Structure 1
Amino acid sequence: MLIVQGVALAMAMVTADAPAASASSKEQRVAAAYQQFEKQRHVEAALEFEALWRDFKEPRFLFNAAVTRYTARHYAHAVAYLNEYLALAEVKGPTAMRRRRSSRSRDARSRACRSACNPMGSRAHRR
């Protein structure tokens, strides 16, 4: 019984420090994955990027997993990850694209109005 209480206390202490350690752990894991990739150890890098994707759900990890699987010649994995990555981009993409289009059309209208109001442009002031 005393051992069980000791284990429970130790687990509570570890989980209490987990949020503070998770940020540095994440950074260390990312750095380790990039180092593996630079050392041409693509499978190990892919495994780490896949684990980072599972743990943190950041799209960059999914993309990096796809790239490392591709460089390891695991094409089926690479295609699956890229499809998933592109599906994420489609979800986020239309809103961003609409904003860009709206901004571009607003700029175009502004330029059109300036040229219609002053057909000579800045040359009219140079006489």
Structure 2
Amino acid sequence: MTIFSKIIRGEIPSYKIAENEHFYAFLDIFPLAKGHTLVIPKVETDKFFDVSDELMAEYLLFAKPIARAIEAVIPCNRVGVSVVGLEVPHAHMHLIPINSVDDMNFSRSKLKLSPEEFETIQQAIIARL
């Protein structure tokens, strides 16, 4: 079982942004930018393109309003999308507020935010959904 499955089950706390029958979105606790959100399928699938055809379109449709809410709350040029999948063997999409392509460089130092900062960002994004 991956750490993401434990988050979905509530065994590990998260700053949940949205959830439905098939997907779960939450703030990345090691963000590249404020508002950096992970979107994951509830079915544990290692590789992004191994997600079933039935769920793939739903995946993007689930992520779309979240990306729009992030963009409305976090000052940025747009929300970038990245699928890397090397850190955790559970398909996941990164939604990252960006102003330049370098803002999606995963070798950059991650932000260190307080629980209060995470909660403020979480509530602001949720309020825009």
Give TM-score, length-normalised by structure 1.
Answer: 0.28
Please tell me whether Structure 1 or Structure 2 has the larger radius of gyration of its CA atoms: 1
Structure 2-normalised TM-score?
A: 0.28
Higher RCO (CA 8 Å, separation ≥ 6 residues): 2
As a proportion of its length, which structure holds more strand? Answer: 2
